[in-house]
Amino acid sequence: MKQDPKQTAVIVGGRSDIGLALARRLARAGHPIVLAARRAGELAEDAADIALRHGVDVRTQELDVLKPEGYAAFLERLPADTGIVACVVGLLPDQQAVEGNPQAAQQVVDTNFTGPLLLLELAARRLAASGAAQPAVIGIGSVAGDRGRARNYWYGAAKAAFAAGLSGLRQRHARTPLLVMTVKPGFVRTRMTAGMDLPPALTDTPEQLAELIHRALRRRRMVVVPWKWRLVMAVIRLIPERVFSRMTF
Amino acid sequence: MTRAPLSGWGRYPVLPCRLERPADVADLRELLRAGEPLIARGNGRGYGDCALQPEGATASMLAMNRMLDFDARQGLLTVQAGVLLADIVDAFLPRGWFPAVTPGTRFVTVGGMIAADVHGKNHHAAGSLRRHVAWLDLLAPSGGIVRCSPSENAELFDCTFGGMGLTGVVLRACLRLAPVRTAWIRQETVVATDLAQAMDAFETSASWTYTVAWIDCLARGAALGRSLLFRGEHAEPGELPEAWRQAPLRAPAGRGWRVPVDLPAFLLNRLSVRAFNALYFRAGARAPGSRLVDWRSFFYPLDAIGDWNRIYGARGFAQYQCVIPQAAARGGLAALLDTISAAGEGSFLAVLKQLGPQDGSFSFPMRGYTLALDFPVNPRTLALMEELDRIVAEHGGRIYLAKDARISRERFAQTEPRAAAFRRLRQARGMHPRYASALSRRLDL
């Protein structure tokens, strides 16, 4: 059974639960994997596990999303057959701690917006020029970016900016085979949300989200939202601002 | 954190336990430092109270589930203890490797298999799991990590197999996998109309890799012990039909079933079990003598039915598994079967198997015959099992701790003269009282 060799998939934020789940799903489909993160050496066991289970090549590569000066060198070192770059980096801060705190606000914006968008912008340019068949860059936004709430508006605002940036990037490369995918999850059960009281019916596991992304990748979908959240957000977007501003959720 | 009801696979007993989910060794050390009794838990497939700790912490090892290394020359696979056997089969059967020893379910962790020193249908020739583990890393009560193998810390290695997690937390292990060329088993069925024939069939089938018998535990009189003995060999590619030879290591997955609710206990009664057993025996006797069976059906028939433990109703069930030494086997098995069929408390799943020699100083297997049955838990069956304990003790046998939920401390001491040495080791090395479970408390280990 000979199959086409699959392109390498790069997961930036390879330590996160969503990143690892996505890496596993893509490895199962036969893609070699690069896990990129800070202190990438600590991911050696995860890399070995994915490689052994799925029989693909998995390597780790050092990257700090908060240091954009390192992006070019990072992309330079990626395998030549790289066809997918996914950025699942994100920081969900304690909103109260960010309000009125310029440094904390800067970090939220850099981690959720500036860093990921700059990185995917550079990756998109490289993939579009590489001649790879069906290349893709994937960014993880959030439904929290669709409407700002008192509880997490710094996070939501950064995710909204990221989504707008990806939309522009998509237009920029519309005449190339490059797919720019925006994923907007709802609640996901991860270490980032551990301890939060999440409604089970609206909460996905990282594995479910990874499955959704993988399916969307095969169908070349541009914007991906879990269907339950599409319904929820359709309603939330319709609420007049005067009413929404007084709601407490 | 709060305690929540927790049980083993038999759903008896149910005890309030605090289930911790350590992500790494540091989390485990944190639990040790807290100073309360600790027991590791795998996938919860031990039947009774071996992975329950109602007074301290029960540590689920499922998050520590990475495969770390594979040496394809020797078939040596290094994994963290929380890796499921099912994952190993999924990853390595397509590459031509199969577990050298496998229990009757693949939904067990490597750590759990080591703690129970599991055996399989090939025990008479291959021995239990311990023979196929090159080394393991154990978290000592001090928080240190101890590498154990047959040549390094050999006593600890020995007692950890069958030690039910009471020697420490297994962190990593290196397993020897066995090469196979297909995912199929050539199976033959031998019909035995009574116990003597069944035992003879085991003796004459000793050269087969796998042997196991289904036994009708409700048959009486002349038919006492009537059985269907299944023996199997890994099929070679040449034995497969042309269509399968293209991908000999892939066998189709059948459709999975689940038991959606707890069935009412009255469905399992003397009549229904007797009728099932009679039909099953006749069907087996009529079936062709030799056929090809896929690996799932041969090794893991019950894994196809999710939550099958629910057929025994909400009160749960107890699995009774004992071994009777070879010399006393004929008389011992006859006495056990007589008592069971007279009580009329039979189960669909009664298994007879000949075991090879004893390897370990606290492992279950010994040369002889092992009998395993399920009983729904009720006052009658609990009394019956105590009677069976007495017969086992009388014949120099012992019971399997991975299955047990109820043997009394006194009877256990009678069947396990080896327990004293195990207890001494635990005390000398500080494992007691740091590593403890509901089982260790019940049996004073």
Give the other-Cβ count within 10 Å of A44's Cβ. Answer: 15
- Distance between CA B433 and CA B427 in Å, rounded? 8
Q: What is the mean pLDDT of residues B171-176?
A: 98
Q: Domain locations in chain A?
A: 8-244
C-alpha distance from B413 to closest chain A C-alpha (Å)? 43
Q: In the predicted model, is pLDDT for residue B434 greater than 70?
A: yes
Contact residues on chain A for B91, CB-CB shorter than 8 A: 52-55
C-alpha distance from B90 to closest chain A C-alpha (Å)? 8
Q: What is the mean pLDDT of residues B293-316?
A: 85
Backbone angles phi, psi at B43, to 5 degrees: -95, 15
In tens, the pLDDT along A28-46 reads 999 999 999 999 999 999 9
Question: Which candidate from B66, B87, B90 shows the least CB-CB separation from A46?
Answer: B66
Give the other-Cβ count within 10 Å of A27's Cβ. Answer: 23
pLDDT of the residue at A1: 35
| Torsion angle of the four alpha carbons A49, A52, A56, A59, in this order, in degrees rounded to the nearest 10 | 40
CATH superfamily of A8-244: NAD(P)-binding Rossmann-like Domain (3.40.50.720)
Q: How many residues does chain B have?
A: 445
pLDDT of the residue at B16: 97
Per the annotation, the verdict on A71 as an active-site residue is: no
pLDDT of the residue at A160: 97
- Distance between CA B135 and CA A29 in Å, rounded? 33
Q: What is the mean pLDDT of residues A2-9?
A: 74
Q: Do B68 and A45 touch (CB under 8 A)?
A: yes
Question: Which candidate from B67, B90, B247 shows the least CB-CB separation from A49?
Answer: B67
pLDDT of the residue at B265: 66
Contact residues on chain B for A53, CB-CB shorter than 8 A: 67, 87, 90-91
In tens, the pLDDT along B105-158 reads 999 999 999 999 999 999 999 999 999 999 999 999 999 999 999 999 999 999
In tens, the pLDDT along A232-247 reads 999 999 999 999 999 8
Q: Are B397 and B165 in contact (CB under 8 A)?
A: no
Query: b/e per residue, B244-259, with b = 16+ CB within 10 A?
Result: beeebbebeeeeeeee
Q: What is the mean pLDDT of residues B201-222?
A: 94
- Among residues B183, B83, B173, B180, the alpha carbon closest in space to that of B135 is found at B173
- Distance between CA B86 and CA B91 in Å, rounded? 9
The architecture of the domain spanning B184-235+264-411 is 3-Layer(aba) Sandwich (3.40)
Q: In the predicted model, is pLDDT for residue A55 greater than 90?
A: yes
- Among residues B290, B288, B296, the alpha carbon closest in space to that of B187 is found at B290
In tens, the pLDDT along B51-96 reads 999 999 999 999 999 999 999 999 999 999 999 999 999 999 999 9
What's the complex ipTM? Answer: 0.86
Q: In the predicted model, is pLDDT for residue B3 greater than 50?
A: yes
Q: Domain locations in chain B?
A: 184-235+264-411
- Distance between CA A122 and CA B72 in Å, rounded? 40
Q: In the predicted model, is pLDDT for residue B1 greater than 70?
A: no
Query: b/e per residue, A230-243, with b = 16+ CB within 10 A?
Result: eebbeebeeeeeee
In tens, the pLDDT along A150-162 reads 989 999 999 999 9
pLDDT of the residue at A2: 37
pLDDT of the residue at B266: 66
B287 pLDDT tier (thresholds 50, 70, 90): confident
Question: Which candidate from A46, A48, A53 shows the least CB-CB separation from B91?
Answer: A53
Q: Is B211 helix (H, G, I), strand (E, B) or coil?
A: strand
C-alpha distance from B66 to closest chain A C-alpha (Å)? 5
Q: Is A136 helix (H, G, I), strand (E, B) or coil?
A: strand
Give A 3-62 residues with CB within 8 A of chain B. 45-46, 48-49, 52-55
- What percentage of chain A exceeds 90 in pLDDT? 87
Q: How does strand B351-355 pair with strand B257-258?
A: unpaired
Contact residues on chain A for B67, CB-CB shorter than 8 A: 48-49, 52-53
Q: In the predicted model, is pLDDT for residue A3 greater than 90?
A: no
- Identify from A35, A43, A52, A57 which residue to disrupt to test chain B contact, counting B C-beta atoms within 10 A and taking the largest count: A52
Give the other-Cβ count within 10 Å of A76's Cβ. Answer: 8
Catalytic residue among A113, A154, A155, A229: A155
In tens, the pLDDT along B344-401 reads 876 767 899 999 999 999 999 999 999 999 888 999 999 999 999 999 999 999 999 9
pLDDT of the residue at B255: 63
User: Count of A–B CB contacts within 8 Å?
Assistant: 26
C-alpha distance from B166 to closest chain A C-alpha (Å)? 27
Averaged pLDDT of chain B = 93
Q: What is the mean pLDDT of residues A186-213?
A: 91
Averaged pLDDT of chain A = 94
Helix (H) / strand (E) containing A11: strand A8-12
What is the full DSSP assignment across A156-214? Answer: HHHHHHHHHHHHHHHHHTTTSS-EEEEE---EE-SSTTTT----GGGEE-HHHHHHHHH
Q: Do B91 and A46 touch (CB under 8 A)?
A: no
